[in-house]
A and B are shown apart, each in its own frame.
Chain A
Amino acid sequence: MDHKRITFLLALIWTIVAVLPLFFGGTNFIMHILIMCLIWSVVASCWDLIMGFAGIFSFGQVAFFVMGAYASAIISAQFSIPPIFAVFVAGGITAAIGILVGLPCLKLKGAYIALVTFAVHMILEPVLKGDIGRAMGTGGSRGLLTIEPMHIFGYTFTTASPVPYFYLMLLVAVLCSVIILVVIKSHWGTAFLALKDSQEFATCLGVSAFKYKLRVFALTSFLTGMMGGFYAHYVGMLSTRMLGIDLFVTLMVILVIGGVGKFPGAIIGAFITIAVNELLSPLGPYRPITMGAMVVILVLVLPDGIVGLFERLFSKKQHGMTH
């Protein structure tokens, strides 16, 4: 998809999302879901950036998110840093961990990278719950029950009136999507694609696989960690339950629906997935069954997600749109 079309699509999505509070502003439940949609849309976009564009099978996205959330909560509590700064510090910490995780991954291939990054996810829970975590102030298995709410210029965002926080998150999500767009559009994105298509030729043209792969780890884990921070200060509570398989699968479904490597598909995917998940909620145990069935069917029927479907419809008229 060319950049003009992505920009247009982004503008369209965010405009629609921006007016949603006019309809749902009074219903906390829906506003809350919308805020979660915004958060997941950024996290999923980051995942898409690293997996879809850079072609690195990183499965550590949820782990980075949780790290960022804990880091921000702990920093703001222990060093009394205002949350609005703490989230960036948390992003920085997560980025540093992202680079550390990225280093061994440079040498590895597809499924191994998936394993190493997923290993980070698996280790995180015992670490956060165990002695190390408790020493850092994670509250062990009880989790953190009091996290300072976000406040800017004396205004405190509370969950009781979510509309202001919705707009704050919208601003953050717009900024993140612009960052991702700029990255895709800039030489970074070109480097990712070139490395993904033909690493040999790309490196022989001077593209440093090392540098750009580490950068994508750093960037995506920074943004993801930062979103974790925003999440923590919004919800006000944290536990290692986030590391359950549910969230991981939800993010995967977002990508399946949105389309891998089809930015801004992940954003659309996030809104659809979270909405469908809520709609299916009354079905109780049939909800995950339906979600699972949907993934299976969608991968077969709509392998490039919704954006891929649009593209296919477009490219029939307009030749030459490769994936």
Chain B
Amino acid sequence: MKKALGILLILVLALMPATGLWAKDTIKVGVPLAMTGPYTDTGDNYWKGIKMAIDEINTAGGLLGKQLEPIRFDTQEFAPERVMQGADYLCGQIGVDSVHAGWAGWGQDVRAYGKYTAPFFADDGSQSAVDVFKQNKEEYKNIFQLTDTGINQAQSMFNVLMALPYEYPNKKAVIITADDAWGTEVGDTLEKNFKEKGWDVAMHELVPYGTNQWGPLLTKIRRIKPAIIHVEIVSAQEVITFFRQFMKRPTNSILSYGYSLVPREVVETMGKEADGLLGEVPTAMPTPEAPTPEAQAWLEKFETIWGHLPQAGSWAAYSGVKAWATAVEAVGDEKNHDAVSDYIATNGYKGETGWWKWDEDHVMRAGGDVPIAHYQVQDGVMVAIFTDPPTKPYKDYQFQVPRWIKQ
């Protein structure tokens, strides 16, 4: 054991200088994502999209004739100083010409990367990030959000829940969210909406990550017998254990999982068991059938490369790279960061499903060609049944009343 560890250590030390060597004449692209810790998996989703875009550009001859070179940085758990370190490393030290992050820290990232000029694409989905942006739009003009805020996403979830072709037996709702920024933002918005529509939010619970004994909460739920249960914990373990324990003695409730339906394990682990669950993905590529032929082609390409359908964030991150590359082509100089940012802000980018337009807060607002897709698990596959806004059914896909609801 000791020996093995020693060998490992030596190997690592020997490898270290190698990572410091970069080929000349490339355009460096910063990729700060979680590579360790609890967010590794989401980091992976983004990376797959980013890598696909970079490879595509490189095989097509590069950008302005230069190859793109991703520089990765492990953001770990987005501790504030870690996020800052990432910005200082990628922009300050390496001098990358664009940064493609995913979930990057709810506003900390805006600060950290706003100091620099390289266009920065994040998938924060957070009102607080937008609030930080608004404090100094000029300084932060290189910041672009690839998805809409949690508030708007939650609004959209509510719209779809109300639009379902289904008659609720009562007007009682239960909301369970993780005690993180995303969870609370969604939970609070939903509660507000429910109350405005005259619903009774009989229970609104914050739970810590790692909760997987739902007995006490389910006991309460079984007494309440709500028409809707919304669970918003972006971690498969929690939502699967909740579902399984719920299913032991289900109530007549629609189960809405919001964004927490998307960690790949949820559907992959449960398969058809998950049939009936609802969820949403912002900046989404609806599946299994894409809205346009180009999008369908993209979907198929992604599946060939990675062996599975794209997860939340993959397409958004991919599009971020492509949007930046388009802007660089137009400006003709990757080093002219301000011009690139201005180009993106004013012209947007035409992607597989249509036009991407950032609003004045540099947020990719849901709607138009890039709506939020709402899914239901049907036959073990996530099927887009609605898009929003505006709220409308997606293609011919139908909402199915979950099997546990006895009418």
Write the residues of chain A forming the contact surface with B, with a CB cutoff of 8 angstroms.
27-30, 32-33, 36, 125-126, 129-130, 140-143, 145-146, 159-160, 231, 235-239, 241-242, 244, 246-247, 279-290, 293-294, 296-297, 300
Chain A binding surface, main DSSP class: helix
Which residue of chain A has the shortest Cβ distance to B17 in the bound complex? A279
Asked if B9 contacts A241 (CB within 8 A), the reply is no
In the complex with contacts A27-B93, A29-B89, A29-B92, A246-B12 CB distance below 8 A: no
Assembled-state Cα–Cα distance A280/B12 (Å): 8
Nearest B residue to A231 via CB reads: B81
Asked if B88 contacts A32 (CB within 8 A), the reply is yes
- Known contacts A141-B180, A142-B128, A244-B77; is-contact A284 B35 (Cβ 8 Å): yes
The residue among B8, B79, B83, B108 with the most chain A CB atoms within 10 A of its own CB is B79
Q: List chain B positions with a Cβ less than 8 A from chain A.
A: 2, 5-6, 8-9, 12, 15-16, 19, 35-37, 40, 72-74, 76-81, 83-85, 88-89, 92-93, 105-108, 111, 115, 128, 131-132, 135, 179-181, 183-185, 206, 208
| B225 to A: closest C-beta gap in Å | 27
A235 touches B80 (CB 8 A): yes
- How far apart are the CA atoms of A284 and B6 in the complex, in Å? 19
Query: Which residue of chain A lies nearest to B15 when distances are taken between CB atoms in the complex?
Result: A283
Q: A29's contact among B79, B88, B179, by CB below 8 Å, is which?
A: B88
A273: min CB distance to chain B, Å: 15
Among A284, A294, A300: residue with most chain B CB under 10 A: A284
By a CB distance below 8 angstroms, the chain B residues around A145 are 106-108, 111, 128, 131-132
Is chain B's interface secondary structure helix, strand, loop, or mixed overall? helix
Among A126, A242, A282, A296, the residue within 8 A (CB) of B19 is: A282
The listed residue (B12, B76, B108, B185) touching A286 by CB distance below 8 A is B12
**Pairwise interchain contact B36-A296, C-beta atoms closer than 8 A:** no
If the complex has contacts A130-B179, A293-B9, are A285 and B80 also in contact, measured as CB distance less than 8 A?
no
The distance from the CB of A84 to the nearest CB of chain B, in whole angstroms, is 20
Contact, CB under 8 Å: B184 / A142 = yes
Could you tell me the distance between the alpha carbons of A300 and B184 in the complex, rounded to whole angstroms? 46
Select B79's contact among A125, A160, A247, beta carbons within 8 Å. Answer: A247
Partner pick for A284 among B5, B72, B111, CB 8 A cutoff: B72
Q: Cβ of A142: which chain B residues have Cβ within 8 Å of it? A: 106-107, 128, 181, 184-185
> Quick check: A28 and B92 within 8 Å, CB to CB?
yes
- Chain B residues, Cβ within 8 Å of A146: 132, 135
A142-B181, A281-B73, A285-B36 as given contacts; A241 in contact with B79, CB under 8 Å: yes
Q: How far is the CB of A81 from chain B (nearest CB, A)?
A: 21
Contact of A237 with B78 in the complex, beta carbons under 8 Å = no
